[in-house]
Amino acid sequence: MEVTGKVVVVTGGASGIGAALCKRFSQEGAKAVVVADVNEDGAKAVAQEIQGVAAVCDVRRETDVIDLVNMTEEKVGPIDLFCSNAGIIAIGGVEVTNEEWQRIWEINVLAHIYVGRAIIPRMIERGRGSMLITASAAGLLSQIGSLPYSVTKHAAVGLAENLAITYGGQGIKVYALCPQAVRSEMTRQFDGGGVAAVDGLMEPEVLADSVIEAFRQETFLILPHAEVLTYMQRKASDYDRWLTGMQRLQTRYNEGAPLKQK
């Protein structure tokens, strides 16, 4: 898939990964890029930079997602690619409050479902369309220090996988973006990326390059950090050994020991 000439929507587009994707899609010659975010000023700033369209959208509200899709298709054109990118992290384990669990569940999982409900029927009718779900390597491995993030990102990967299976035969292409730590507001909140930054903190512009390449190759699983594939293979080949290694890493994290970075 080429982005050139396409109408693209990106949620969480005001900063971090979302902003980098918006800018790269514009550079690739997208027909229009809709920068959607709950942060209106941030969305407007990115949209102004790339001559795109800014939209306010709280992805926790299904009505906001529906309004975003309707506005785009009525004022800009049929959506070719929807990047369901907005996400948050919550620090902690089982002690995290129900309110925090609900919020991260709504943003990291339910928002993707709202997007699918709003756009997939339209794309099926047109016989084409693509959806990218920003998950995380935490959804393939785990996230030491954040149980809610790990759980919701596992759910996001499973959702993307099932959508790809269910609708692939109807002209819908689904992608799952699963990076480790990327320089963003989220990683600044979470100890510079924490254990996820063990292989380095990637710049969002570098991640955007990986996304464009995956689109061209039509690769479902987008792994900007190449090491993640090796970690997945180790996990699958000997789950118990992998768990033991992760437990050791957990201990180092708890003790505040330095984590090796490339």
For residue 151, what is the domain's CATH number?
Answer: 3.40.50.720
Rounded Cα gap, residues 250 and 262, in angstroms: 19
For residue 80, being part of any structural domain is answered with yes
| pLDDT value, residue 86 | 97
Q: Determine contact, residues 57/65, Cβ cutoff 8 Å.
A: yes
How many Cα atoms sit within 13 Å of 190 on the Cβ side?
A: 26
For residue 261, being part of any structural domain is answered with no
| pLDDT value, residue 262 | 31
Which sequence positions are flagged as catalytic? 136, 149, 153
Say how many domains are in the chain.
1
Its sign, for the CA torsion 227, 107, 158, 165, is negative
Q: Could you give the angle at which helices 147-167 and 98-105 cross, rounded to 10 degrees?
A: 30
Amino acid letter, 30: A
- What pTM did the predictor assign? 0.92
For residue 173, being part of any structural domain is answered with yes
Q: CA angle 105-96-236, nearest 5°?
A: 65
Per-residue pLDDT of the chain (262 residues; tens, 9 = 90+): 999 999 999 999 999 999 999 999 999 999 999 999 999 999 999 999 999 999 999 999 999 999 999 999 999 999 999 999 999 999 999 999 999 999 999 999 999 999 999 999 999 999 999 999 999 999 999 999 999 999 999 999 999 999 999 999 999 999 999 999 898 666 666 565 555 556 678 999 999 999 999 999 999 999 999 999 999 999 999 999 999 999 998 888 887 765 553 3
For 24-45, b where at least 16 C-beta lie within 10 A, e where not — what string?
bbbebebebbbbbbbeeebbbe
| pLDDT value, residue 261 | 38
For residue 161, being part of any structural domain is answered with yes
For residue 2, being part of any structural domain is answered with no
Range of the domain at 80: 7-255
For residue 170, being part of any structural domain is answered with yes
For residue 262, being part of any structural domain is answered with no
For residue 260, being part of any structural domain is answered with no
Q: By CB neighbour count within 10 A (0-12 exposed, 13-18 middle, 19+ buried), where does 158 fall? A: middle
